[in-house]
Structure 1
Amino acid sequence: MTAGGKLEGRHALVTGAGSGIGAAIVRALAAEGARITLAGRRRAPLEAVAAALDPGVQVHLIDGFDVTQPEAIRRGLDLAHTAFGPVSILINNAGEAPSASFEKTTSEMWSQVMDVDLNGVFNVTQAVLPDLKAHGDGARIVNIASTAGLVGYAYVSAYCAAKHGVIGLTRALALELARKGITVNAVCPGFTDTPIITRSIEAIVAKTGRSPEQAMAEFTKSNPQGRLVRPEEVADAVLWLVSPHASSITGQAIAVAGGEIMAG
């Protein structure tokens, strides 16, 4: 743990903490001295993230944390309280992004994406909100949305709809909690170098016969910088939003996308 870090003594709960952006956020929070509950459905990825942290970082692992199941969330939160006390920083990162044309998007796929990507944010936030309100001034909620919550993309209609919903929820809750000193923001990554992108490239190669380089070009062409976003860049935006220096930033949807999205 970083001595004197700006988050020293704060308890952060990170969902979807086992890989990609979630793991990068854990590393960033740990570097600033936070005590971190890593939550996810499977234990092995959480253990791998925890094992890579510096000695002395205070972490607690909660597997079986299904954001679609309020009872699983309640059990996990009870364990988090036992380990580190009330949560004062909530990072809603759990999500999934299956791809299909709208015509081939089944009702089951639609419901699953909505349940994980949108209802999951509702479920976890509502469960943690008493902790955040008790902490009051300085408590933070950061929802990991996507540029898909700001614009449309073909072949991910369910994902776009869910992430637009996350941004709407972020803005509404920010207004409700503003006078309590609790900020609520969304970070909206563009295409980011995570296992989701790796699987998507593999699927494109398998379905179309394109080379991995050609498949990668489909994801980088929308970024004016011509590259994927790094998970650490997303984590840095999150770290700023949860810091004391961002107390007047709330209700915002901040794109981390190399200039792909620009607010008018």
Structure 2
Amino acid sequence: MNTPTTSTLAEQHAVVTGGGSGIGAAVAEALLRAGARVTLMGRNVQRLEAQREKFNGLGEVACISVDVTSEESVEKAFAQAGAIDILVNNAGQAQAAPFTHTDMALWQRMLDVNLTGVFLGTRAVLPGMLERGHGRIVNIASTAGQIGYAYVAAYCAAKHGVIGLTRSLALEVATKGITVNAVCPGYTETELLHASLDQITSKTSRTEQQARETLLRSNPQRRFVSPEQVANSVLWLCQPGSDAITGQSISISGGEVM
């Protein structure tokens, strides 16, 4: 991450769900470098603690265990975190299957992690933001929330739901000093991408390079997005000068969605 250290978010407290790796970790670092105090939330506390060690010297970092699909767990974790100025709903999961092989368990899991988790986290922070008259909520959606992809109907449905939630809530709080936006990455160099590549190579005769080329066909820039590029967009939405930007779903995808 090349983001310079500044103080534009000094005295701001940011929570990043799914903050132990990938996009979440990159977002947390960007916010720290801008002066925010950051709480990492996720299911794997050891991974969160390992990430906190990597942030040594950048600022104040806390780690809290949470299951974003559990109302009780979310309420407990956010109460422990205290007052929150910035929420980045990043926790997510993707699983592929042909529509006829998408059972109720897969369908519900995709909705629970990717959509209900956003709802529960946002509901936990919103009363405090309304009381203080200020807040930034950034939902990490996906280009799968803007267009369709074959074999991931449940994931696409959940991410489309995140964008709908973003737009609706942005209207509700438009005069309250709170902005609500969605950032929509295309294929990004994370563990999720590597899992997708593994799935392609294990089920076909293609090599990893061929699998990568397949995924990049729809990207005009012919390259994957980096977590840092997504993080820079999130940081921009959290800065003081971004208060006129709300209800947006911003594609970070090398031109895949125009």
TM-score over 0.5 (shorter chain): yes
Distance 1:26 1:3, change over 3 A: closer
Instruction: Give the alignment's TM-score, normalised by structure 2.
Output: 0.96
- Write the mapping of 1:115-264 to structure 2, written as runs, cut at 5 A: 115-137=112-134, 139-262=135-258
- The equivalent position to 2:109 in structure 1, one of 103, 108, 112, is 112
Structure 2, unmatched stretches of 5+, are none
Q: Which residue pairs with 2:42 in the alignment?
A: 40
| TM-superposed deviation, 1:209 | 2.4
Query: Secondary structure of 2:174's partner?
Result: helix
| TM-superposed deviation, 1:205 | 1.0
Separation (CA, whole Å) in 2 of partners of 1:48 and 1:155: 34
- Identical columns (%): 52
When the two structures are aligned, how many residues end up with a matched partner? Answer: 255
Query: Does the 8 A contact of 2:87 with 2:138 survive in 1?
Result: yes
Separation (CA, whole Å) in 2 of partners of 1:3 and 1:38: 19
Which runs of at least 4 in structure 1 moved beyond 4 Å after TM superposition?
A: none
Give the AA of the match of 1:15: T
- Write the mapping of 1:67-86 to structure 2, written as runs, cut at 5 A: 67-81=68-82, 86=83
Structure 1, unmatched stretches of 5+, are none
Give the AA of the match of 1:101: P
Query: For residues 77-117 of structure 1, what are the alpha-carbon distances to aligned partners after superposition, in whole Å with 9 as ceiling and x for unaligned?
Result: 12212xxxx00101000110101111111111001100110
- The equivalent position to 2:100 in structure 1, one of 103, 111, 124, is 103
Distance 1:211 1:56, change over 3 A: closer
Separation (CA, whole Å) in 1 of partners of 2:58 and 2:101: 49
Instruction: Give the alignment's TM-score, normalised by structure 1.
Output: 0.94
Separation (CA, whole Å) in 1 of partners of 2:48 and 2:132: 27
Give the AA of the match of 2:75: R
Query: For residues 132-172 of structure 1, what are the alpha-carbon distances to aligned partners after superposition, in whole Å with 9 as ceiling and x for unaligned?
Result: 112213x1000000001000000100011000000000000
Separation (CA, whole Å) in 1 of partners of 2:37 and 2:76: 19
Query: Does the 8 A contact of 2:33 with 2:58 survive in 1?
Result: no
Separation (CA, whole Å) in 2 of partners of 1:187 and 1:56: 24
Distance 1:4 1:150, change over 3 A: closer
Separation (CA, whole Å) in 1 of partners of 2:54 and 2:96: 31
CA root-mean-square deviation: 1.2
| TM-superposed deviation, 1:56 | 5.0
Separation (CA, whole Å) in 2 of partners of 1:241 and 1:9: 17
Query: Secondary structure of 1:224's partner?
Result: coil
